[in-house]
Amino acid sequence: MVEENLTLVTEFILTGLTDQPGLQVLLFLVFLLIYLITMVGNVGLIALIWKDPHLHTPMYLFLSSLALADACTSSSVTPKMLMNFLSKNHKISLSECFIQFYLFGSSATTECFLLSVMAYDRYVAICNPLLYPVLMSNRHCAQFIYFSYFIGFVHSAIHVCLLTRLAFCKSNVIHYFYCEILQLLKISCTDPTINMVMILIFSAFIQVFTFLTVIVSYSYVLFAVLRKKSEKGRSKALSTCGAHLLSLALFYGTLFLMYVRPGSVPTEEQDKMYSLFYTIIIPLLNPFIYSLRNKEVVGASRRIMNK
């Protein structure tokens, strides 16, 4: 009987952001618009960088890789959520659930490492400009990008492999808008202690390591900028760094609150809000934060439009 119960759950039900029927169509339109803008912004940025030879430098290659990771993060979550807004059938199979989490986990982990590499790139460019061609050559740039994606794929695969050891028989209802790993552990009838420990270890290492790399790199950059004699150049650099740091604070802040959280446990609604930021809002904002204040990207856009 126990064995029979353990094999009952082969699909889950995603409850979504809200259970109020009157809001479903409105939320569908809002998130559809956000998704379209996200994809146009990120895919357009990738196409622009690869189309314009002036942008074939490490900084912009990193930016195009970040745009790809953002597009993958949003695409792993938003399409299924949009379908559920208009459908009464909110079911997702066990395999689809694991695939969705794998795609999200790998792209989110990749983004953490890409953000740290981009911060290091700015540190070398501003604080050690003479060494920049050596430290950030095209070969090193490609190695950094491959390493970031490789770590993302491996990290997510480890968690998916650990998920396959769990049996789901308590409930098949996930009170979330996508297959988030902590929500899966809640409804597991197998002891998820090993999974929880691995999540904490990997999340703490990846998020803390990449976050510290970003903070240290930008600290050196800000000190170097503040020493500049040009008031115009200083204010411009501070404005650009401020926009980047705002994006980083939102991304890392919500990730820390979800996976490396302090003693107080957030409510279910707070968890959903945190997840919305790093799955949907940050991928929407990043292409504009990193490109609108960049004269070279704006100039490349104008050249393409003129042609």
Helix/strand/coil (H, E, C) string of the chain?
CHHHHHCCCCEEEECCCCCCHHHHHHHHHHHHHHHHHHHHHHHHHHHHHHHCHHHCCHHHHHHHHHHHHHHHHHHHHHHHHHHHHHCCCCEEEHHHHHHHHHHHHHHHHHHHHHHHHHHHHHHHHHHCHHHHHHHCCHHHHHHHHHHHHHHHHHHHHHHHHHHCCCCCCCCCEECCCCCCHHHHHHCCCCCCHHHHHHHHHHHHHHHHHHHHHHHHHHHHHHHHHHCCCCHHHHHHHHHHHHHHHHHHHHHHHHHHHHHCCCCCCCCHHHHHHHHHHHHHHHHHHHHHHHHCCCHHHHHHHHHHHHC
State pTM to two decimals. Answer: 0.89
- pLDDT score of 264: 54
Which segment of 4-18, 39-53, 109-123 scores lowest on mean pLDDT?
A: 4-18
Residue 146 has pLDDT above 60, yes or no: yes
pLDDT computed for residue 256 by the predictor: 82
Domain at 201, CATH number: 1.20.1070.10
Compute the mean pLDDT over every residue in the chain, rounded to the nearest whole number. 85
Q: Which residue has the higher pLDDT, 236 or 219?
A: 219
Which of the four pLDDT bands, split at 50, 70 and 90, describes residue 283? very high
Range in 70-84, 170-184, 285-299 with the lowest mean pLDDT: 285-299
Residue 101 predicted with pLDDT over 90: yes
Range of the domain at 55: 2-306
- What is the reported pLDDT for 5? 44
pLDDT bracket for residue 246 (50, 70, 90): confident
User: Based on the structure, what is the number of domains in the chain?
Assistant: 1
